[in-house]
Amino acid sequence: MGLLDGKKGVIFGIANDRSYAYFITQALLREGAECAYTYMPMGKMEHRVRKAVEGLGVSDPWLEPCDASSDESLDEVFDKLKNSEQFGELDFIVHSIAFADKDYLKPDMFHKTPRQVFTQAMDVSAYTLLGMSQRALPLMPNGGSIMNMSYYGGEKVIPGYNVMGVAKACLEHTTRYLAYELGDQGRNVRVNSISAGPFKTLAGAGVGGMDEMIAHQERKSSLKRANTGEEVGNTAVYLLSDMSSGVTGETVHVDCGFSIVGL
Ligand SMILES: NC(=O)c1ccc[n+]([C@@H]2O[C@H](COP(=O)([O-])OP(=O)(O)OC[C@H]3O[C@@H](n4cnc5c(N)ncnc54)[C@H](O)[C@@H]3O)[C@@H](O)[C@H]2O)c1
């Protein structure tokens, strides 16, 4: 018996087998979930995502392109889900995507951020949660659970995290406003955020000083180590399963107790 037996959902954000979304998927599949997947339509992404998902033992995955910064692309992917036999009704959504121009993810660059870089970071990293949720809602007649990925740089200043930190603050508060409305009027859809520690992924590599951020967590966190992808995956299982049925609008820190330490 798995904690997610009979539950179906969509994963946004696998780029390769280092992505947080990859570890989340691994844990969801272990617990019996059925997952649909999307990839960012650029370069060799389709091939990379397919390879990663197949590496998790899924043959012939439901895999479609989605650039979440485009309403048309979001409409298309949710229409395909709605019309598919397997994913016409959903129980969960995993939002594990973010983007900001890496030229501005360096110390002393926040105050130089141009309008276009700022709005793009907010759009891709925060608004897309709302864009996905409003389209997922009609496919969740029996309620559901939506989760996203944040970072401590949305609560405190982490030099170099810059505009992405501002976008994470927006993402976490978008989570709370969505949780309030989507929990109401019999909708019973929960929305939560995982705030995970720094992790070497494609997106992570774009943030200046990633090695130092990881070393800092290893030195200063309560557990004196970096968190693993598996630990984030297991927390996703909790948030997407009925084990967390009374939890919504929360940001759960999976950072080995880094964020509770002041000095
Ligand atoms: N790596 C870290 O240190 C860290 C820490 C905490 C939170 N996070 C968050 O975890 C999430 C996943 O990032 P990751 O670290 O696994 O890196 P990743 O590079 O593996 O994943 C980022 C994903 O975002 C996707 N993406 C970017 N723009 C998109 C768009 N317009 N439409 C659709 N998809 C788009 C990419 O294709 C990629 O799959 C992000 O929200 C990130 O901010 C990362």
- For ligand 1, say whether the CB of 160 is within 6 Å of any of its atoms: no
What domains appear along the chain, each with residue ranges and CATH number?
8-254 (3.40.50.720)
pLDDT value of position 206: 85
What atom in ligand 1 is closest to the CA of residue 45? 37
Q: Mutate which of 96, 156, 216 to test ligand 1's pocket (most atoms within 8 Å of Cβ)?
A: 96
Which residue's CA is minimally distant from atom 4 of ligand 1? Answer: 198
What atom in ligand 1 is closest to the CA of residue 67? 32
- For ligand 1, say whether the CB of 69 is within 6 Å of any of its atoms: yes
By the 10 Å C-beta count (0-12 exposed, 13-18 middle, 19+ buried), 183 is classed as middle
Of 65, 43, 61, give the one whose Cα is nearest residue 52: 61
pLDDT value of position 210: 87
What atom in ligand 1 is closest to the CA of residue 42? 37
| Ligand 1 centroid, distance to 241 Cα (angstroms) | 22
What atom in ligand 1 is closest to the CA of residue 49? 39
pLDDT value of position 207: 86
pLDDT value of position 102: 96
DSSP the chain: --TTTT-EEEEE---STTSHHHHHHHHHHHTT-EEEEEE-SSTTHHHHHHHHHHHTT-SS--EEE--TT-HHHHHHHHHHHHTSSSSSS-SEEEE------GGGSSTT-GGG--HHHHHHHHIIIIIHHHHHHHHHGGG-TT-EEEEEEE-GGGTS--TTTHHHHHHHHHHHHHHHHHHHHHTSTT--EEEEEEEEPP--SHHHHTSTTHHHHHHHHHHHSTTSSPPPHHHHHHHHHHHHSGGGTT--S-EEEESTT-TT---
pLDDT value of position 183: 98
pLDDT value of position 209: 84
Q: Mutate which of 11, 12, 17, 40 to test ligand 1's pocket (most atoms within 8 Å of Cβ)?
A: 40
pLDDT value of position 21: 98
Q: Mutate which of 201, 218, 232, 259 to test ligand 1's pocket (most atoms within 8 Å of Cβ)?
A: 201
Q: Which two tokens stand for residue 215?
A: 């070393």
**What is the set of active-site residues?**
151, 161
Give pLDDT < 70 ranges for the chain. Answer: none
Predicted confidence (pLDDT) per residue in 133-157, tens digit = 999 999 999 999 999 999 999 999 9
Predicted confidence (pLDDT) per residue in 69-95, tens digit = 999 999 999 999 999 999 999 999 999
- For ligand 1, say whether the CB of 97 is within 6 Å of any of its atoms: yes
- For ligand 1, say whether the CB of 201 is within 6 Å of any of its atoms: yes
Which residue's CA is minimally distant from atom 9 of ligand 1? Answer: 149
Distance CA 238, CA 104 (A): 35
